[in-house]
Chains A and B, each alone.
Chain A
Amino acid sequence: MDDKTEVLEREQLDIEILRDVNLRLPAVAPREAFPAVPLTVDARLQTRAVGQRATRPDCRMHGLGQTKYIDDIKLPGMLYARIKRAGISSARIKRIDTSAAEAMPGVMAVVIGKEIPVNSFGPTFQDQPVLAADRVFHAGDGVAAVAAVTEQIANEALERIVVEYEPLPAVFDPVEAMRDDAPKVHAPNSNIYATKVVRKGDVEKGFAESDHIFEGRFSTQMIEHVSLEPHAAIADWDATGRLTIYATIGRITLARADMARTLKLPMSRIRLIGTTVGGNFGGKNEISQEPALALLSKKTGRPVKGVFTRSEEFTSSTTRHPIIMDYKSGVTKEGRIVARQIRLVLDGGAYCSWSATTLGKACILSPGPYKIDNVLTEAFVVYTNKTMTGAMRGFGAPQVCFAYESHMDDIAKGLGKDQLEIRLLNAFDEGSSSPTGQVLHSVVVKETLNKAAARFGWESQS
């Protein structure tokens, strides 16, 4: 102790200790004075870590084959669940008869959509059911879940579940789905479920001032993450009414909130364990079968494991948004872009999932890393009766990158200019503004292009 501290009588000790300036009280950050000065990092600063070989701490277990993924976990008394998939893109469910399945020896419980307390969830719009109850919106929709003592029996039970469908009109093309006369996927709502517009300057004026106009349409396909590990979860609803879920989910706090919502359980009763996952890439960011497994566990009093088949990974888990991208650019004869107008139509699948986020990123990034004074991007995400589209590495960025770079090559070709040259002419510089007005720092686009071109001998190619 410092000699500035008073020496105290024992009776006063407790109170006085609190006044000792040398005691380390819980750290509280000093109040920030606004406006905050942003920290700008020198673009070329490398940390010492770059170029080092570093071993991931989990590699030891992976290399030994000792890592326990969900399918490697076996709890005592555990049952195996399988989900019956609709197999029809748009329909009303007239009747579900699970009695034959329930009567099978080894089948311990069956759950259907109507039994889910709140049969809807979703990060932006809660438009996705856990199991389809009245309506089927895509062929991968689950209509019933079965828990049995072996997976083989669960599979056979699916065949004994009888579902009567009344087929309804379906729409599969997002551009078609935007029309007023297209069948409404989630009637009475419009198929266009989110829109984003970025507007900078005046594109019409820009086009009028341009020497040449170039137009092009680019489209990308639906892509599935294909994590080597399929979606998997184990639900254990214990006798005190508490639910433990082992899940492959990345966003466990959101998942816990969604479990609470769909099962009408207080969050304090839910323990969600995110296990070591065998690949996510955005595809495991939300719940899917977990509430159904939870109810199966509740009904049977036993833990229930569900693992998607590889087919279900394609039909019944989120995928990357296909986007149809229309680009129109006005350029000077030197190749400087004066105006760019873009329309993006995202195929939003049967449910929203992370489409709003994807829409935002795609829209903001769609003009590309180029200095353009006049920009108009209108982006729409549209329901179709197909597998839901959601988060996947890049969140909309890869699709628009394909479009704006292909479009750039088309412009170069059209003007008879070198593809590298035209990019160097237009690329962002330090301090350039993005289309939404953000001032950009650590900008090294041109330096990178030049370095890369030198490395792979661009001069000799053209």
Chain B
Amino acid sequence: MKAFGYVAAKDVTDAVALLAEHGAGAKVLAGGTDLLADLKFAPHHPDIIVDISRLEDLKDIEVADDGLHIGALVTHSEIMRSPVIRDMFPALVEAAYTIGAVQTRNLGTLGGNLVTCVPSMDSGPTLIALEAEVVIAGPGGERRIQLGELFAGPRKTSLKTGELLTDIIIPKANLDKPAAFEKFGLRKGQALALVNAAAAFFVDNGNFKAPRIALGAVAPIVIRAPKAEVYLEGRKITEDAMAEAGRIAATEAEPISDFRASADYRRDLITVLVKRCLANSHTRATTKAKELVL
């Protein structure tokens, strides 16, 4: 890698100040699993790396009045081990499990995964389906937005100079909403998603209530499938409905053809993965299985 400066931030305020000072010349180091790999290939290089990896404030997982808070620096391994997350949102554990390998998950952080803003990010779909919000610290103070508003384009967030993602919140209203995540890659481990998907809904007298479907790797950013959601709202929960929702969701995506897969293949994958997510969410809603099997 080319030479750059390095400074370890003392706390969030310090980190924000450093980022504001260096502007576009600074890059944030959390887990480093994406940043360092990127820097080794990239033609650009930063002036300075701001290391936030030791900010313990950003590593909390706790249920508060407004919902479940997951600090931006919680690693994928920590998500997988957290009793709170395993109990409330096994879908997040499932998603974390598909990321890289053990070594990647030990260092890689949830915030880092979201901020890379790659369309295929594995932590995105479940959080989008659960209508998560994120807290951003900046020179002007803190602001809170919907997670979807963070994504501006492939590898491009809406964060302004000096801003730092600090917290991810799943709102109180969705704390007991059953959810499921599916990913399809060319291998079971160390693979990018050709398509990933998540679904979450409440069961209301045998009908879908507040269904939410999110798709990754099939558009410039992680997207919802609103037409499929409208189709399901209030409808009786059946396998056929789930299959139809999958077909509708496939029409709402804009997958590309590349050396990994064709757009048609990806569309086929969407129909299958969405159907599976809906089925698994339903199973979670209706059974009391406590054992999470990965």
Hey, which bits of chain A sit against chain B, CB under 8 A?
152, 155-156
Contact = CB atoms under 8 A, between A and B. Distances in A.
Contacts of B2: 152, 155-156
Contacts of A152: 1-3
A156 B1 CA distance: 10
A132 to B, nearest CB: 23
- Interface residues on chain B, size class: under 10
Nearest to B40: A309
Nearest to A159: B43
A172 to B, nearest CB: 14
A156 B3 CA distance: 10
Contacts of B3: 152
A234 to B, nearest CB: 23
Interface in B120-159: none
A155 B1 CA distance: 9
A452 B3 CA distance: 58
Contacts of B1: 152
Nearest to A310: B40
5 contacts: A152-B1, A152-B2, A152-B3, A155-B2, A156-B2
Contacts of A155: 2
Contacts, number: 5
Nearest to B41: A311
Contacts of A156: 2
A216 B13 CA distance: 67
A104 B221 CA distance: 43
Interface in B66-105: none
A290 to B, nearest CB: 26
Nearest to B1: A152
Nearest to B3: A152
B191 to A, nearest CB: 16
A155 B39 CA distance: 14
Interface string B1-28: 1110000000000000000000000000
A16 B1 CA distance: 76
B55 to A, nearest CB: 29
Top-5 shortest CB links A-B: A156-B2, A152-B2, A152-B3, A152-B1, A155-B2
A80 to B, nearest CB: 15
A386 to B, nearest CB: 15
A328 B2 CA distance: 56
B39 to A, nearest CB: 12
A407 B3 CA distance: 56
Interface string B155-185: 0000000000000000000000000000000
A169 to B, nearest CB: 24
A365 to B, nearest CB: 30
B2 to A, nearest CB: 7
A155 B2 CA distance: 9
A152 B3 CA distance: 8
A156 B43 CA distance: 11
A156 B45 CA distance: 13
A155 B3 CA distance: 12
Nearest to A156: B2
B198 to A, nearest CB: 33
A300 B47 CA distance: 33
B292 to A, nearest CB: 33
B190 to A, nearest CB: 13
A152 B2 CA distance: 7
Nearest to A155: B2
A241 to B, nearest CB: 38
A94 B101 CA distance: 46
A230 to B, nearest CB: 14
A250 B1 CA distance: 31
A152 B1 CA distance: 7
A272 B2 CA distance: 34
A225 B184 CA distance: 26
A152 B4 CA distance: 12
A298 B3 CA distance: 30
A57 B1 CA distance: 38
A30 to B, nearest CB: 59
A155 B45 CA distance: 14
B278 to A, nearest CB: 33
A152 B40 CA distance: 11
A336 B107 CA distance: 60
A151 to B, nearest CB: 10
Nearest to B43: A159
Nearest to A309: B40
A317 B209 CA distance: 57
B187 to A, nearest CB: 14
B106 to A, nearest CB: 21
A435 B3 CA distance: 61
B251 to A, nearest CB: 32
